[in-house]
Amino acid sequence: MEDIQNSPDIEGLRKKIDLIDDEIVRLLTERAEVVTKIAQIKRDAGLPFHNPDRERAILERVTASCKGMFPKDALKVIFREIISASLSLEEPLKVAYLGPEGTFTHLAAIRHFGSSANYIPVERIKAIFEAVEAKRADYGLVPIENSNEGVVSYTLDVFVDCDLKIAAEVLLEVSHNLLSRDGDIKKVKRVFSHPQASAQCREWLERHLPQIPVLDAVSTAKAAEIAAQDEEAAAIASELAARLYDLKFIERRIEDNKNNFTRFLVIARDYPKKTGKDKTSIMFSLKDKPGALFNVLLPFKKANINLSKIESRPSKRRAWEYIFFADMIGHIEDKVLREAIEEVKDNCLYLKHLGSYPIGDKQER
């Protein structure tokens, strides 16, 4: 086997790979030089340094041009990092997320913006909105719903009094792991996690740790931090948290449903232009009269607009008054969709357009 590893054929191919790698590095350096020139032009003209429309066009173009054996999903990840590093040469993006480091929100943010962004962990979902509104962050990333546990109600509540827009969505496959300092399940006396994460692992916990209390933490990352300081504690958290807090795996993928995705929203001060594969989100409250909800939904039906989600929440302003949140396929720039929303307004106490943005691709953890 050793002779094969060092055979002339393999050595010759390895040298060819080295030459290709050198050329990739040379081209990346050349690309960085062009990026810095663009950055200077933008600064001189007072233009924003981040252009999400251009970024998306790059990713679509390079994946469409990939005709060979290299996996397109991997190519997209690579170019996401190239773009992120290039932006850092101009000015790193500031992204607020629900911290601390190692949460699934943190992981989703990295998947969307790349590892070269400047990530700002905050302790509350509302604080993410506040950071973007105050321009301490360019973007924020908040959880909105899980495929198994449903909507994150508090995120919806914050949108009621906020003028920020949804600029993108990130769909992340969520995999939960049981972690501890030494990876020994026999030493576990208590388990910490965010309530939503522990709920997604209920069957596994009842089967393997039926007598062990499961305690709430403000986030899965905070649970990992607790476990790192307590040899009798375990945490349900991500692989990223395991690396950040130097924890060992007791068991991987303990979630009850393996098809487990969480949807995150990227919030910003504006929403992007139409791409042709978009989603629009609105919120509205109804007049108190018979058939009010039917009258609101009818224009979408007549216009053949697909409502992909509708959710209601108490308004918290008056008893028995509800706020509705709806997602639909299409962009506010689409004439049919815009006219349907205008017709809907006549049957609402108020209606707010939360944003139109590209439909997210499912991303594995």
What residues are labeled active site? 262, 264
CA distances from 53 to 57, 80, 125, 274, 287 (A): 6, 14, 26, 9, 38
Residue type, 189: K
Q: How far is CA 347 from CA 166, 287, 303, 328, 337, in A?
A: 24, 7, 17, 18, 16
CA distance 143 to 100: 14
Tell me the residue type at 274: K
d(CA 326, CA 279): 10
Please list, residue by residue across 57-86, b when 16 or more beta carbons sit within 10 angstroms of its beta carbon and e when fewer do: ebeeeeeeeeeeeeeeeebbeebbebbbbb
